Amino acid sequence: RAYSLVDSSQVSTFLISILLIVYGSFRSLNMDFENQDKEKDNSSAAGSFNGNSTNNSIQTIDSTQALFLPIGASVSLLVMFFFFDSVQVVFTICTAVLATIAFAFLLLPMCQYLTRPCSPQNKISFGCCGRFTAAELLSFSLSVMLVLIWVLTGHWLLMDALAMGLCVAMIAFVRLPSLKVSCLLLSGLLIYDVFWVFFSAYIFNSNVMVKVATQPADNPLDVLSRKLHLGPNVGRDVPRLSLPGKLVFPSSTGSHFSMLGIGDIVMPGLLLCFVLRYDNYKKQANSDSCSAPGPGNISGRMQKVSYFHCTLIGYFVGLLTATVASRIHRAAQPALLYLVPFTLLPLLTMAYLKGDLRRMWSEPFHSKSSSSRFLEV
């Protein structure tokens, strides 16, 4: 959420959030290509450019999940609001484990580049734990080291690094199969965001969203030292931890922090990932069929504008609008109130004008025409 004026901290928030969305979207697209190549090598079947990849780690959201996700998020928010003191240690440990895996995923391409000249890409067996390449072991080791330093210091920059890993991993591993599911999910989350930011104070006498997002948790080392009675000087000097559910950046004067929840990055990021995959699918389909660029009433210049660029610009404008609104009202703003209209409405308008709305609305990657690329020898 944006709390401050448009200064260096806000510029950092804008740039980092856009870079995370772009990087996560392209990692997702690259995973699709890798899975398609494996299917072709194994000669399993004539595949299609399908968001429901054979990779079991990829989760595709259907209509039912999109409808109930805001309800589940609301229940989780209430649990954290009422029982935070009771579950904070468990929640901190679970968050640290997930952040470790996500940040290792973020570091993996860099580690693959570093280890390629000096080690083969053969996997090393660790018994029941599985088989891993040298790059995977290196990225995981660096991630564990960063999490341990974060636990010991509680530094905001390390927390941001872990939050970035969570954003990229969620954008890469979660898919929206159609524009219909995208609209259901984002519309429901918009209502969720508006209610818990604007109206929760009238019911619970406190802004539930802001309190949960900003409340620090006890350090597990401090709790462990008290449980084991290790003495007053053991583990008591570690700081409380602000959990990596947000990005924070200090202003140039250090007087305040700019904050943006990772949900405000991931959820629009899933939409951008969907349109990037659709842009690539449409480009391949047009190339294979040598079809005309589009309806005759649409200019060639508009046909050249991709859905990804249009939606990404809308995300930036929506984020800027949320910041201006927070400045005017001097209060926390539900960022999705601005991000959802500024991303969905231009996308729907452009899809209608290009004649793609019907195809994008219902499972576009399952169309029969998409399989022609993989039927060629």
First-to-last CA distance in the chain? 51
pLDDT of residue 51: 43
- Contact between 207 and 200 (Cβ < 8 Å): yes
> Which residue numbers in the chain have pLDDT < 50?
1-4, 45-54, 291-292, 294, 296-297, 367-377
pLDDT at position 338 is 94
Task: Confirm if 244 and 99 have CB atoms less than 8 A apart.
Answer: yes
Distances (CA, A) of 151 to 71, 92, 225, 243, 266: 31, 10, 14, 10, 24
Quick: pLDDT tens for 145-177.
999 999 999 899 999 999 999 999 999 999 999
Torsion of CA 219, 222, 224, 226, to 10 degrees: -140
pLDDT at residue 351, rounded to an integer: 92
43: left (phi over 0), alpha (psi -120 to 50) or beta: left
At 209, list the tokens.
Answer: 């969203």
Count of CB atoms within 10 A of residue 153's CB? 14
Give the CA distances from residue 205 to residues 79, 88, 199, 202, in Å, rounded to whole numbers and listed in that order: 16, 22, 10, 6
Output the six-digit token pair for 285.
């389909």
Q: Which residues contact 216 (CB under 8 A, 6 or more apart)?
A: 240, 241, 242, 243
Helix (H) or strand (E) holding 132: strand 131-132
- Where are any strands of DSSP class E within 241-337? 246-250, 257-261
d(CA 247, CA 171): 16
Contact 221, 149 (CB under 8 A): no
For residue 211, give the H/E element and its range: helix 208-214
Q: What are phi and psi of 334, to 5 degrees?
A: -75, 105
Active site residues: 193, 264
Asked if 62 and 177 touch (Cβ cutoff 8 Å), the reply is: yes
User: Residues 208-218: pLDDT tens digits?
Assistant: 998 998 888 88
At 171-195, the pLDDT tens digits run: 999 999 999 999 999 999 999 999 9
DSSP state, 173? Answer: H
